Amino acid sequence: MTAFDHRKYRPAPPVALPDRQWPNRQIERAPLWASVDLRDGNQALLEPMDVAQKRRMWALLVQLGFKEIEVGFPSASQPDFDFVRWLIEARQIPDDVTVQVLVQAREDLITRTFEALQGAKRAIVHVYNSTSTVQRERVFQMDREAIKGIAVRGAQLLQREAAKYPATEWVFQYSPESFSNTEMDYAVEVCDAVIDVWQPTPQRPCIINLPATVESAMPNVFADQVEWFCRHVSRRDSIIVSVHTHNDRGCAVAAAEMAVLAGADRVEGTLLGNGERTGNMDIVTMAMNLYSQGIDPELDLSNPDAIIQTYTECTSLPVHPRHPWIGEMVYTAFSGSHQDAIRKSLKLQKPDEPWQVAYLPIDPRDLGRDYQAVIRVNSQSGKGGVAFVLERDYGLSLPRWMQVELAQVVQRESERCSGEIDSATIYQLFLTHFVADQVPVQLQGYRLDREGTVDTIAADVVERGSARTLSGRGEGAISAFVDAWAHHSGEQVNVVDYSEHAIGSGTNAEAAAYVQLNIGGRRYSGAALDHDTVSASLKAVLSALNRAQAQQSAAA
Ligand code: KIV
Ligand code: ZN
């Protein structure tokens, strides 16, 4: 018998809500955001933030556009108290930003909390006590009435202390901590009792914050709980329903999103999900989820690198390279088929149409990332990646059959050196393998005459040190040159495929040509770069002929 025994656990009880409405709704606008980075997240750090780090984090949160920011637990920590005083005394709080502070429902702590906030223009005082069955029965060993009594007393104390500081616009917030593990009827009973003390109105609402303190059910269960709560709580029009999810099961964002469908107006969380245990709801992820659905997240997340820098400096925590939306590697495709699809979609994407790019849910440029990071080439990249980097960095549009051939060369090289191949190496591999227009035959010059649709060519070549002029006729310079070669060598040569294009930038050449020949039943490819398309075409044919000779001699 191992210790790993599922019978130790019970499933979360479902909520009786057969006519639940939330699954049929859609999120249409951003919720009110409240950052708790400077409290919960800060509490959960091995090294709490120092004053300079708290100030840096505060500046970032304001800059991102948060309008409600929980700045600490001033009654429990002198540094938090001092930080709140600094914010107020140094006039650091913009007019449209409200600070929030956390306090347990205890008289001495509440009194001290109001002292910390003296002089604030507007402030949210957030009082909480735990209501879940396990907390009541095992931690506090108190019955329902006694636990409700703590909440009511806390609510009364907030009212009493607030009355001492009438110059401040006070907003009261109550959290039934561990709400999602509380019986729903009891959670409503406790919150109703608090609401009854505060008597909020639509003009002066209070905030009721519903935490999934420990996430212990699927997000749909939390959504049912929130909808049930919203339907049963008193004075629904006078309360702002807020949610505060944690990420124990990895679903904090999903739970908050579904809670918004279920009626929540406000969402608490932290940047990149820092917080107790597995962390709080990640506001960057949820906001970017909204953004990618065409909804204004009402936060400016356009510079995630700045967020990551401040976050790591203040928390000493790393950001995973695959973190949703902003991780270092999330816009990098390694798989060849993904790269191919991205390249094709990007080519067709018009600036004024909705974003439709395979494998890229948003335009990385919106986050200050560029396409440089999209494609890297390794042994799994395939032709898409190879084609992408040659086009991007050297202006070369290889035909499909040459992409396939070059990809195999790149793959062998990547396996040989066991790693990623950069674009300069790919270009060199392309030159080495396909641009073989010098040995054993080299083009020195040519004369081309056209009569009707027929071209006559006289091509001066040097073959193994001997100069010759090859003559031939055909429709177009390539056919004429192939005809000249066939007369000269006695070989049966057919052009299987051919393409050319002008080169905008990336190399010194102005034209590129690619040709595939069938010589004696086998296919050979060649390419050339030159100052004009005719020279490039003739040299591409020569490259294929030279490669054929080299391969035939190697096989002989
Ligand atoms: O997770 C939680 O329940 C909390 C409360 C204090 C709101 O952080
Ligand atoms: Zn929390």
User: What's the whole-model pTM score?
Assistant: 0.81
Query: In a 3-state reduction of DSSP, which class is residue 221?
Result: helix
Distance 479 CA to ligand 2 centre (A): 76
pLDDT at 286 over 80: yes
Please give the C-alpha separations between residue 380 and each of 62, 97, 274, 418, 427, in angstroms, as whole numbers.
43, 50, 34, 11, 18
**Amino acid in the structure at residue 499:** S
Write down the pLDDT at residue 40: 60
Choose one of 101, 130, 175, 208 to mutate for the ligand 1 pocket test, by most ligand atoms within 8 angstroms of C-beta. 175
> Quick one: which ligand is closest to 208's CA?
1
- Separation between Cα atoms, residue 333 and residue 378, nearest integer Å: 10
- 550, burial (CB in 10 Å: exposed 0-12, middle 13-18, buried 19+): middle
Distance 279 CA to ligand 2 centre (A): 8
Distance 91 CA to ligand 2 centre (A): 28
| Pocket flag, ligand 1, residue 40 (CB < 6 Å) | yes
Distance 247 CA to ligand 2 centre (A): 10
Does residue 479 contact residue 495 with C-beta atoms inside 8 Å? yes
209's CB contacts (< 8 A; 6+ apart) are 126, 128, 173, 174, 175, 242, 243, 244, 266, 268
- Atom from ligand 1 closest to the CA of residue 128: 6
**φ and ψ of 549, to 5 deg:** -60, -45
Whose CA is closest to 33, among 386, 217, 282? 282
| Pocket flag, ligand 1, residue 340 (CB < 6 Å) | no
| DSSP character string of 400-418 | HHHHHHHHHHHHHHHHHHT
Distance 40 CA to ligand 1 centre (A): 8
Please give the C-alpha separations between residue 207 and each of 174, 191, 243, 464, in angstroms, as whole numbers.
6, 10, 10, 89
pLDDT at 484 over 70: yes
Does residue 384 contact residue 337 with C-beta atoms inside 8 Å? yes
> Please, which contacts does 476-482 make with residues 24 or more away whose CB atoms are closer than 8 Å?
477/446, 477/448, 477/534, 477/537, 477/538, 478/515, 478/537, 478/538, 478/541, 479/455, 480/448, 480/455, 480/456, 481/446, 481/457, 481/537, 481/538, 481/541, 482/517, 482/541
- Separation between Cα atoms, residue 235 and residue 242, nearest integer Å: 15
Write down the pLDDT at residue 368: 83
Choose one of 178, 213, 266, 268 to mutate for the ligand 1 pocket test, by most ligand atoms within 8 angstroms of C-beta. 213
The number of angstroms, rounded, from the C-alpha of 496 to the middle of its chain's C-alpha atoms is 44
- Atom from ligand 1 closest to the CA of residue 209: 7
**φ and ψ of 528, to 5 deg:** -155, 155
Q: Convert the pLDDT of each residue in 32-62 to its tens digit.
A: 999 999 986 566 788 889 989 999 999 999 9
Cα separation of the two ends of the chain: 68
Distance 268 CA to ligand 2 centre (A): 9
- Separation between Cα atoms, residue 401 and residue 540, nearest integer Å: 15
Q: Convert the pLDDT of each residue in 81-95 to its tens digit.
A: 999 999 999 999 999
549 vs 67 pLDDT, higher one: 67
**What value does the mean pLDDT take over residues 403-426?**
87
Going by CA atoms, what residue is nearest to atom 5 of ligand 1? 177
- Separation between Cα atoms, residue 195 and residue 31, nearest integer Å: 22
Q: Convert the pLDDT of each residue in 213-263 to its tens digit.
A: 999 999 999 999 999 999 999 999 999 999 999 999 999 999 999 999 999
- Atom from ligand 1 closest to the CA of residue 39: 8
Query: In a 3-state reduction of DSSP, which class is residue 363?
Result: coil
- Separation between Cα atoms, residue 541 and residue 48, nearest integer Å: 69
Distance 134 CA to ligand 1 centre (A): 16
Q: How many CB atoms lie within 10 A of CB 28?
A: 9
pLDDT at 374 over 60: no
- The pair of three-digit structure tokens given for residue 34, joined into one six-digit string: 């409240």
Does residue 90 contact residue 121 with C-beta atoms inside 8 Å? no
- Separation between Cα atoms, residue 214 and residue 139, nearest integer Å: 15
Write down the pLDDT at residue 373: 41
Question: How would you write 281-331 as a 3-class SS string?
Answer: CEHHHHHHHHHHCCCCCCCCCCCHHHHHHHHHHHHCCCCCCCCCCCCCCCC
Write down the pLDDT at residue 371: 52
| Pocket flag, ligand 1, residue 282 (CB < 6 Å) | no
Q: Convert the pLDDT of each residue in 316-331 to its tens digit.
A: 999 998 999 999 889 8
273's CB contacts (< 8 A; 6+ apart) are 247, 252, 279, 280, 281, 282, 285
Q: State the virtual CA torsion across 57, 61, 64, 66 in degrees, nearest 10.
A: 170
**Amino acid in the structure at residue 384:** G
- Separation between Cα atoms, residue 100 and residue 384, nearest integer Å: 51
- 14, burial (CB in 10 Å: exposed 0-12, middle 13-18, buried 19+): exposed
Query: In a 3-state reduction of DSSP, which class is residue 234?
Result: coil
| Pocket flag, ligand 1, residue 175 (CB < 6 Å) | yes
Distance 245 CA to ligand 1 centre (A): 8
In the structure, what pLDDT confidence band is assigned to residue 370 with cuts at 50, 70 and 90? low
DSSP state for residue 521 in the 8-state scheme: T
pLDDT at 351 over 60: yes
Distance 14 CA to ligand 2 centre (A): 23
Going by CA atoms, what residue is nearest to atom 2 of ligand 1? 213
Going by CA atoms, what residue is nearest to atom 1 of ligand 1? 213
Q: Convert the pLDDT of each residue in 438-474 to its tens digit.
A: 889 999 999 999 988 889 999 999 999 899 999 999 9
- Atom from ligand 1 closest to the CA of residue 280: 1
Please give the C-alpha separations between residue 319 and each of 48, 145, 502, in angstroms, as whole numbers.
18, 44, 44
Mean pLDDT score of the chain, rounded to an integer? 93
Query: In a 3-state reduction of DSSP, which class is residue 197?
Result: helix
> Quick one: which ligand is closest to 275's CA?
2
Whose CA is closest to 227, among 262, 193, 254? 262
